[in-house]
Structure 1
Amino acid sequence: MSATLREARVDGDRCLILESAEIRVAINADYGTHIYEFTDLRSGTNLLYQDPKGPRHYTVGGWYELFPNAGNACSLDGHQMSKHGDIQHQPWQYEVQTATPETVEVAFRTRSQDLPFDVTKTIRLRFEDTIVHVSETITNVSDRPLPYLWGHHITFGEAFMAAASRISLPDTEVFARDGVDRPSSPYAPGARGRLDALPARGGGTVDLTRFPAQPFAAMLFADALPEYWYDVWSEDLGAGVTVTWDGQAFPALWIWATNRATPGKPELVACALEPQASAVPTLAEAAATGAAPVLQPGATRDAWLRVRLHHTSLPTKAEAHDHRET
């Protein structure tokens, strides 16, 4: 028994499959280093959303990276910014750094075409643990300061997000953006509050820490997190995922969810919990309002994320806090 790394072609794309004793992770190097599989080997279940057309045809997730824009397409100083940034669609070069029975690690590199940034990252998996380690660096390779948005769109699918699934967060306020009213959202327009007690549409409160069984859609933000972690637990699978991240690089969290309430995708069930650099979702708006980080010429910014599979229920936030990797 050992950690393994395989290189494969999937629909013509270069893909890498990393496996430990309990998890399998699959990465499409030719399409944004999209992580299209995070499988709990005990149950044989891929916890991520899977596009029925295959790993190259996602618009929802798996797990992809957003940079240098995070929301809808926009224009910045006359330059067009791709929806969710362009690096999610680009081929990345890669090099296997380590392939031993104990550890597998791959280094990736690309350059954004939307703005002159280099992006590098390593993804590591150890045989004896259940954590995917991601470390990365962005570099401004231009001669001027550049604003950017940056985040990770980690999207769980229907196999993991059922009515018995539970989301745990640090004690923080989440909010809907002003002026955005989704009729299928169970909370009131502009709602602010804890995820378990959001002002509800029509009065009272709604608890969204339990994935609702009825059709709904949600887009919420948090930008005052006291700690940088969340946990999702599936009672049906007896499995959970704890995500921790670098709060200096990603001080905000976005929560996007739908249960058969997305126009044009009537069967879609998915939930994305996204560490992000800003709670303002488009680079043009974030730069105009001072809500986008800025990197000076030649400067770098490092970041890290850890995604940990576990099989112990976490009924309280205190226990979720104890379970996270520090």
Structure 2
Amino acid sequence: MRNWGVRLREIALAGLRAFVLENELLRVVVLAGKGGDVVEFLHKPSDTDFVWLSPDGLRAPGDGASDDVAVFLDRYEGGWQEVLPNGGAPSVYRGARFAQHGEVAGLPWDAEVVADDEQEVAVRLSVRAHRMPLRVVKTFRMVSGVAELVVEEELANESDVELDAMWGHHIVFGAPFLKPGHRIRVPDGARVVPHATPIGPGGRRVRAGGPHRWPHVPADGGGTVDLSVVPAPGGPSEIVYLTDLDEGRYEVVDPAGGPGLRVRWDESVLPHLWLWQELGATADHPWWGRAYVVGLEPFAGHPTDGLAAAVENGTALKLGPRAVRRLWLRAGVIEGSTG
């Protein structure tokens, strides 16, 4: 046990195996017992947790309903999930039926500590999907004195046939960090592809069609919408897909000078960025008016209609026989960010 520098502890949350990675500036909690979810990302100097936590809290995977939609939503505690091989709505692919955001987000992962000293800690998680011959190995790493989490992954096709997959990271921001007027910054030249239909009650903010140049896009009722500004509560739900990214990077910053977060990743593997907004307009299931969140989700494939739709439009990730794809992501705090 070490209580200085960078350190690593194994704990239990809601009966689930979890790991705490911590240094002088940052504390991150990872659930090995459920999806490898990140359920805390706390900047210690400002006491800012960038993770949104659902009002329903953390539930063990065995709790709740088990239909194709509720299997994810009933156990969704907020935070940051790995999504594979199906992104979005339930879908059928080559005879395999997948639930919403199925299936590795709902599975327990094996875990082992691979580094633990005063300068660096790392824990390696791994899991095999049940309905496709896919294996993911995922290492969370933190070093002393740096407010950044490093994630290194390998995705392996353990079969002799070519496979398609939607691979993504479901990263969601909310209170107490997220506030109206926060800014979203992405690389210049990004293009916005609106979802084909509204995803919630009350219409939509962005007009169908496109693609459009980020951040000013046609509004559904006329005029334009600036997608780089986080809107006030009460607006309609929305999801759009950002493409043509020069690099995998976005920032969520506070124009008042509070801390922000920068997420970087290998855009050659995850070339799209989903922008999801649930602003409290959904007064029925599943949000009951309690969610004010923005998701910024690096993905291979879109739309949020499931794997079959991504295969049809040619955006799904292709894995050749016995192929291995590697991916890195970095999430780091921006201190004193401005708009």
Deviation, 1:312, is 2.9
Deviation, 1:78, is 1.6
Structure 1 segments, 4+ long, off by >6 Å, are none
Deviation, 1:110, is 0.5
Kindly provide the CA deviation profile for residues 249-279 of structure 1, in whole angstroms up to 9, marking residues without a partner as x.
1001100012111242202111110000113
Is the contact between residue 14 and residue 29 of structure 1 (CA under 8 Å) also seen in structure 2? yes
User: In 2, Cα distance between the equivalents of 1:30 and 1:105?
Assistant: 17
Structure 1 residue corresponding to 2:205, chosen from 165, 186, 189:
186
Letter paired with 2:259:
A
Is the contact between residue 73 and residue 80 of structure 1 (CA under 8 Å) also seen in structure 2? yes
Kindly provide the CA deviation profile for residues 55-100 of structure 1, in whole angstroms up to 9, marking residues without a partner as x.
3364363000100111111111221012112100111111101111
Is the contact between residue 198 and residue 238 of structure 2 (CA under 8 Å) also seen in structure 1? no
Alignment of 1:94-173 (within 5 A): 94-171=111-188, 172-173=190-191
Letter paired with 2:17:
R
Does 1:274 pair with 2:297? yes
Letter paired with 1:186:
R
Deviation, 1:122, is 0.4
Deviation, 1:151, is 0.3
User: Which residue in 2 is equivalent to 1:318?
Assistant: none
Is the contact between residue 160 and residue 237 of structure 1 (CA under 8 Å) also seen in structure 2? no
Alignment of 1:188-207 (within 5 A): 188-190=207-209, 192-207=211-226
Is the contact between residue 198 and residue 204 of structure 2 (CA under 8 Å) also seen in structure 1? no
Does 1:213 pair with 2:232? yes
Deviation, 1:290, is 2.7
Is the contact between residue 256 and residue 338 of structure 2 (CA under 8 Å) also seen in structure 1? no
Does 1:79 pair with 2:96? yes
User: In 1, Cα distance between the equivalents of 2:53 and 2:212?
Assistant: 31
SS in 2 for 1:88: helix
SS in 2 for 1:288: helix
Alignment of 1:1-326 (within 5 A): 1-56=4-59, 58-59=75-76, 61-171=78-188, 172-180=190-198, 182=200, 183-190=202-209, 192-216=211-235, 217-235=237-255, 238-264=258-284, 265=287, 266-281=289-304, 282-315=306-339
Is the contact between residue 146 and residue 294 of structure 1 (CA under 8 Å) also seen in structure 2? yes
Kindly provide the CA deviation profile for residues 120-143 of structure 1, in whole angstroms up to 9, marking residues without a partner as x.
010001121111000000111122
Q: Where does structure 2 lack aligned partners over 5 or more consecutive residues?
A: 60-73
- Which range moved further: 18-27 or 179-188? 179-188
Kindly provide the CA deviation profile for residues 27-73 of structure 1, in whole angstroms up to 9, marking residues without a partner as x.
11110011011111122221111023323364363000100111111
Deviation, 1:224, is 1.2
Alignment root-mean-square deviation, CA? 1.7
User: In 1, Cα distance between the equivalents of 2:269 and 2:318?
Assistant: 11
User: Which residue in 1 is equivalent to 2:66?
Assistant: none
Taking a change above 3 Å as real, the CA distance of residues 120 and 181 of structure 1, as seen in their structure-2 partners, is: closer
Is the contact between residue 160 and residue 234 of structure 1 (CA under 8 Å) also seen in structure 2? no
SS in 1 for 2:155: strand
Is the contact between residue 41 and residue 49 of structure 2 (CA under 8 Å) also seen in structure 1? yes
Letter paired with 2:57:
G
SS in 2 for 1:284: helix
How many pairs align?
315
Is the contact between residue 176 and residue 220 of structure 1 (CA under 8 Å) also seen in structure 2? yes
User: In 1, Cα distance between the equivalents of 2:146 and 2:199?
Assistant: 43
Letter paired with 2:139:
T
If the length of structure 1 is used for normalisation, what is the TM-score?
A: 0.91
Is the contact between residue 258 and residue 338 of structure 2 (CA under 8 Å) also seen in structure 1? no
Is the contact between residue 43 and residue 147 of structure 2 (CA under 8 Å) also seen in structure 1? no
- Which range moved further: 298-307 or 198-207? 198-207
User: In 1, Cα distance between the equivalents of 2:173 and 2:199?
Assistant: 24
User: In 1, Cα distance between the equivalents of 2:157 and 2:215?
Assistant: 40
SS in 2 for 1:286: helix
SS in 1 for 2:131: coil
Taking a change above 3 Å as real, the CA distance of residues 209 and 288 of structure 1, as seen in their structure-2 partners, is: closer
Taking a change above 3 Å as real, the CA distance of residues 52 and 236 of structure 1, as seen in their structure-2 partners, is: farther
